[in-house]
Structure 1
Amino acid sequence: MTDKYIAINWNDIEDRIDKATWEKLTEQFWLDTRIPLSNDLDDWRKMTDGEHYLVGHVFGGLTLLDTLQSQDGMSSLKAAVRTQHEEAVLNNIEFMESVHAKSYSSIFETLNSPAEIEEIFNWTGSDDYLQFKAQRINNIYQTGTDLQKKIASVFLETFLFYSGFYTPLYYLGHNKLNNVAEIIKLILRDESVHGTYIGYKFQLGFNELPETEQDKLKMWMYDLLMELYANEEKYTHELYDGVGWTESVLTFIRYNANKALMNLGQDPLFPDGAEDVNPIVMNGISTTTSNHDFFSQVGNGYRLGQLEVMEDDDYNYGLND
């Protein structure tokens, strides 16, 4: 055997974004077990059956997508890393996607009966629109090019999750399910870093392509976005028509589809901007610390390091910095 195994050296960094992202992700480390979800039970008992159904099923959908990211998404991206440090960052992301998926089960355990939980998970395996987006993205993970896989990952992280995130952010704005929302804000902060980092790595590869190849890939990218959005419209109607939020949720989705394109260094597609999104929901995205005590209630400001939310200006890493 002649090939040498190379130890990773964090004192010799090829790409400073790898180190910066690793440090941000490790500073932001959290676990759902430190958030007192049972404090939301009073709110939950006052909510209608329709609201219970909505919350349970949007979180069921998010569980499925986080499972996809942890089991298939990150492993598919590791096949084309540029540096050892990038693989370490993807390992961190892979683990946190598992934390996210597990967190929803903690919410279910607190709020739902065993029969309700069984129904939610059965639904995730049978809902046509949810299964379409999971299978469409996974097909790209299994058969796409390296750059197509990164596009799929960013679309999932920065676009497809957000039909589910709308619900807890809306309730947070009305002072309901505040501890559930703490988990969602922590997940949002993670996903913001994940999307920007993978989008940055996409841009490095995209900028190396000949112009004709760039044009073909951009056409593929926008076609995929529209295909996913058409399905997402149906998924949103299915979940939100009963509570009358559908159009507001679709605006939120289009806004985040534009953010996904920005992460990939591309022009936005939809006219929707931040000013068009429900301000209560937008306020939930720009999270501020809940200032919980480390040993009792642990919120998105708990003291394991200084945590920062990714603001709009952070969606694009500057490739020429």
Structure 2
Amino acid sequence: MEEINEKYIAINWNEIEDMIDKLTWEKLTEQFWLDTRIPLSNDLDDWRMLTQKERDMIGKVFGGLTLLDTLQSQDGVDVIRSDVRTQHEEAVLNNIQFMESVHAKSYSSIFSTLNTKSEIEEIFAWTNANPRLQWKANRINEIYQNGTALQKKAASVMLETFLFYSGFFAPLWYLGNNKLANVAEIIKLIIRDESVHGTYIGYKFQIGYNQLPSEEQEVLKNWIFQNIYELYTNESKYVEELYDGLGWSEKVKVFIRYNANKALQNLGFDPLFPETAADVDPIVMNGISTGTSNHDFFSQVGNGYLLGSVEAMSDEDYIKWQ
């Protein structure tokens, strides 16, 4: 038999190096869900009552979210996996990667329920050609491909906790106005996942960041704030493209500034913008904080999520989840 020079180590969940890995795994598996469990066809009556301008906006919103979740599932997790500290962390990242694929597929389920084949083709053509959308996807992917390990984690948190939220605003607003409840249920389930993803990866970022010399910390911190600001500048223009026709742009900008601050908080930094939860449209905040409906009687996938719990990672935060 050929001599083996290196041992392959079996993962042992009875010996945990970082309890946050175990608690995150348990949280993510507890809230597992699939889009096929949500009765989207029940929203067809609401959909038919919307104006063409509203339908066009919603299609573009979900097209943009599909692109970003595709980026996260195909590249975002892979580039972080190469720098894991524990085997359990890699297992958590495997779960995160799968759920990002579920998120991306969920938008197609929404399209197939609400839109015609030609409308779906138009949505994806717009998505794959829109300059603002492509700019932010390429900006994040450039960091994924060429950044340091900590820059990649920071970019992932920026995407998970900040850039998705310009798209999340619309379904949450409709939910608060008693429309498209099942579409919004999917968005709330996605938000609940992204909360854990962004907080967990932010925690792993903070471990590495705190081990850097102070000079390197300052350089990385400045880089992150610069990227947040530039991404926000682009995102503001993207928001205007989506929402100006409905007069919503300024409300959405408040929401994304609030979530940019949340991304910074997950990374362990102070806010960049003055907005707090009190500044966000209360209809949208209520849509996030209200418990999700439980469409599957035999599971608890619809047990709700509170945006206010997206804080910098601590053991206490995870204990509260249990």
Where on the TM-score scale, by shorter chain, does this alignment land: which range?
A: over 0.9
Answer yes or no: is 1:317 the counterpart of 2:313.
Answer: yes
- Is the contact between residue 150 and residue 209 of structure 2 (CA under 8 Å) also seen in structure 1? yes
Q: 1:320 to 1:309 in 2, by over 3 A?
A: closer
- Which of residues 110, 115, 118 in structure 2 aligns to 1:112? 115
Q: What's the CA shift for 1:315?
A: 1.8
Identity of aligned residues (%): 70
Q: AA paired with 1:250?
A: K
Match of 2:224 in 1: 221
Answer yes or no: is 1:141 the counterpart of 2:144.
Answer: yes
Match of 2:63 in 1: 60
Q: AA paired with 2:272?
A: L
Q: Distance in 1 between matches of 2:84 and 2:26?
A: 18
TM alignment of 1:185-204, pairs within 5 A? 185-204=188-207
Q: AA paired with 1:53?
A: D
1:40-85 per-residue CA deviation (whole Å, 9 max, x = no partner) reads 0000001100000010000000000000000000000001000000
Q: What's the CA shift for 1:314?
A: 4.3
Q: Distance in 2 between matches of 1:37 and 1:58?
A: 17
Q: 1:311 to 1:125 in 2, by over 3 A?
A: closer
TM alignment of 1:31-110, pairs within 5 A? 31-110=34-113
Q: 1:69 to 1:245 in 2, by over 3 A?
A: same
Q: Distance in 2 between matches of 1:62 and 1:26?
A: 23
Q: Distance in 1 between matches of 2:51 and 2:139?
A: 34
- Is the contact between residue 295 and residue 302 of structure 2 (CA under 8 Å) also seen in structure 1? no
Match of 1:288 in 2: 291
Q: Which runs of 5+ in 2 are unaligned?
A: 318-322
Q: Distance in 1 between matches of 2:177 and 2:65?
A: 22
Q: AA paired with 1:317?
A: M
Q: AA paired with 2:51?
A: T
Q: What's the CA shift for 1:289?
A: 3.3
- Which of residues 231, 243, 247 in structure 1 aligns to 2:234? 231
- Which of residues 289, 299, 303 in structure 2 aligns to 1:303? 299
Q: Distance in 2 between matches of 1:151 and 1:23?
A: 24
Q: AA paired with 2:78?
A: S
Match of 1:17 in 2: 20
After TM superposition, the score normalised by the length of structure 1 is 0.95
Answer yes or no: is 1:207 the counterpart of 2:210.
Answer: yes
Q: Distance in 2 between matches of 1:2 and 1:104?
A: 47
Q: Distance in 2 between matches of 1:32 and 1:305?
A: 11
Q: Distance in 2 between matches of 1:71 and 1:31?
A: 19
CA-atom RMSD, angstroms?
A: 1.4
Q: What's the CA shift for 1:320?
A: 9.6
Q: AA paired with 2:212?
A: L
Q: Which runs of 5+ in 1 are unaligned?
A: 295-301
Q: Distance in 1 between matches of 2:316 and 2:116?
A: 53
1:203-222 per-residue CA deviation (whole Å, 9 max, x = no partner) reads 00000000000000001000
Q: What's the CA shift for 1:292?
A: 3.4
| Matched residues, number | 314
Answer yes or no: is 1:150 the counterpart of 2:153.
Answer: yes
Q: Distance in 2 between matches of 1:306 and 1:179?
A: 12
TM alignment of 1:164-179, pairs within 5 A? 164-179=167-182
Q: 1:272 to 1:226 in 2, by over 3 A?
A: same
Q: What's the CA shift for 1:305?
A: 6.3
- Is the contact between residue 252 and residue 277 of structure 1 (CA under 8 Å) also seen in structure 2? yes
After TM superposition, the score normalised by the length of structure 2 is 0.95
1:243-297 per-residue CA deviation (whole Å, 9 max, x = no partner) reads 0000000000000000000000000010001111000000111131324352xxx
Q: What's the CA shift for 1:311?
A: 4.5
- Is the contact between residue 192 and residue 315 of structure 1 (CA under 8 Å) also seen in structure 2? no
Q: 1:313 to 1:47 in 2, by over 3 A?
A: closer
Q: 1:250 to 1:86 in 2, by over 3 A?
A: same
- Is the contact between residue 193 and residue 310 of structure 1 (CA under 8 Å) also seen in structure 2? no
Q: 1:305 to 1:186 in 2, by over 3 A?
A: closer
Q: What's the CA shift for 1:306?
A: 8.1
